[in-house]
Structure 1
Amino acid sequence: MSNDPGLYDYIPYNRRPRITWPNGAKIAVWVAPNIEFYEFTPPPNPQRTPWARPLPDVLAYSHRDYGNRVGWWRMMEAMDDAGFRGSVSLNVALCDHHPEIIEACAKRDWEFFSHGIYNTRYTYGMSPDQERAIIEDSIETIRKWTGQKLSGWLAPALSNNTWTMDLLAEYGVDYTCDLFHDDQPMPVNVKSGRLISMPYSLEMNDVIVYNTNLYSPRHYGEAIKRQFDQLREEGETSGTVMCIPLHPYLVGQPHRIDPFAEALRYIAQHDDVWLATGREIAEHFYAHSYDPMVKAIEAVRA
């Protein structure tokens, strides 16, 4: 008996139809800042404790609040300077707590996708109807505050249930960032409708880089450039996707911002890169590559 959940099919990197990006770009690069709100004393979850220390965890709460107060503005300036628009992984409750951030992002034509309501509330142990309520809240809140359709999904703290992908497709969400299995968009197996996985790298995520791998800021900047160089080279054969997931309370620290900003400028100086949003990448993939990829997967499966 297989333990494979069947979320997606296997197709080797070298047996896929060629993906093309606009204007002959070899690589699509998108930046995904996580704009989050962490509750001071969140409700308990039976499967995961939001804070590592006893409540109230003043240290952890205030450290993350630094991102919304200071680090976010510093990060945004670095992105502006390099010509990047962001795709905001949004805890939608932040719209009520810090509307100034929403306004600044919307003014820059950034995308907003859902990262749940609060980053301290997980979907573990929820019923399908409870999870539906979160999706509906996210759809309505993003439409109310930005006028945008909800296109993407990153579950709070990457908490999923076996039915999560089916629900996203049911509600017309175009892409999920909760799968980390590829460097190209891939079809996700859902009961009805369509859903794709969007490359969203743990390796480039500043939480993993700084808190787990203990990189220095300079090392992180170099890793971003090396990731770009390799995927750009492979993009000669078929278009690739690179994501830089960020958290302003980390990358927005004064001693970290310059190497990050320099790495963005390095990427932007190339003329064969598409600086895109997650929604733009998904729309282009659906229009030009989704059907050929499904047919290729069916051939491999057969």
Structure 2
Amino acid sequence: MCRWLAYSGAPINPSTLVLDAQNSIVAQSLNSSLGAEPVNGDGFGLGWYPSGGTREQTPALFHSTEPAWNDANLRELSTAIESPMFFAHVRAATHPPIQQTNCHPFRFEHWMFMHNGAIIDFPKIKRELTFAVDPELYPHIEGTTDTEVLFYLALTYGLRDDPIAAVGAAIRKIEEVGHAAGIRFPMQGTIAVADGSTIWAFRYSTQHQTRSLFHAVDIPTLLQMYPDIERFRIFDRSAHLVVSEPLNDLPGVFLEVPESTVVVLDGTGYHHEAFLDDAWVPASGVPTSHG
């Protein structure tokens, strides 16, 4: 479906992770070992908060419908930019069309949002879900993707006040509408949300067989594990990274995020919280199965 990464820490060039890592996002766009599809060539996006900006500064975006491996502008930009927080995403389109407004990450005010997965049978329930978006937010939807609707549902349900509760409420709405339409497992995916100072990374699916998600170990642990790898010394102690799949094959560097979990990345480290780990209960009051 897609591959993504989210970084926070001292400002670095995004190319360090997007291009130069052993299993970089660009490498994954050509050959993803853990993705639902090995090739993610239906466009890409880079979103970043400027270095030295304020907490609520609007992030910058670069979207392209070119395959990530074939876009010279990505190399130019990612080596010139320095950012303390950025998202990168390569797309394998669940639903066409291939256009810039359908490339992740999405942005509203100082918030960024991206997703790997799908709202299953989205065309079947698109109208009802879109009509659930706050009318004041609806005009900001520019593309046709399920992810953008999910983002604006989360904004509708209070993303700016409580990101975890809002994403949970948006997913429960998708499950409610999906089950009413006869869709057994409506929600699938991993999600990243950022506000310029914190990143929230979610792993959840109605079926509880969610796409892969990992985060790196903290930098002091990494340097203890691999003291002779000079490349790791470019990251300061505050660096945190969450990814769809590991960027290298070194044992212990990346830890899998458990099912039904949100990982919060902030200045104090990684924090795991249970996320929608109970059975979804429809209006009838009969719990659904996780299996």
Tell me which protein shows more helix as a share of its residues: 1
Q: TM-score, structure 2 length as denominator?
A: 0.32
Q: Which has the higher contact order (CA 8 A, sep 6+)?
A: 1
Q: TM-score, structure 1 length as denominator?
A: 0.31
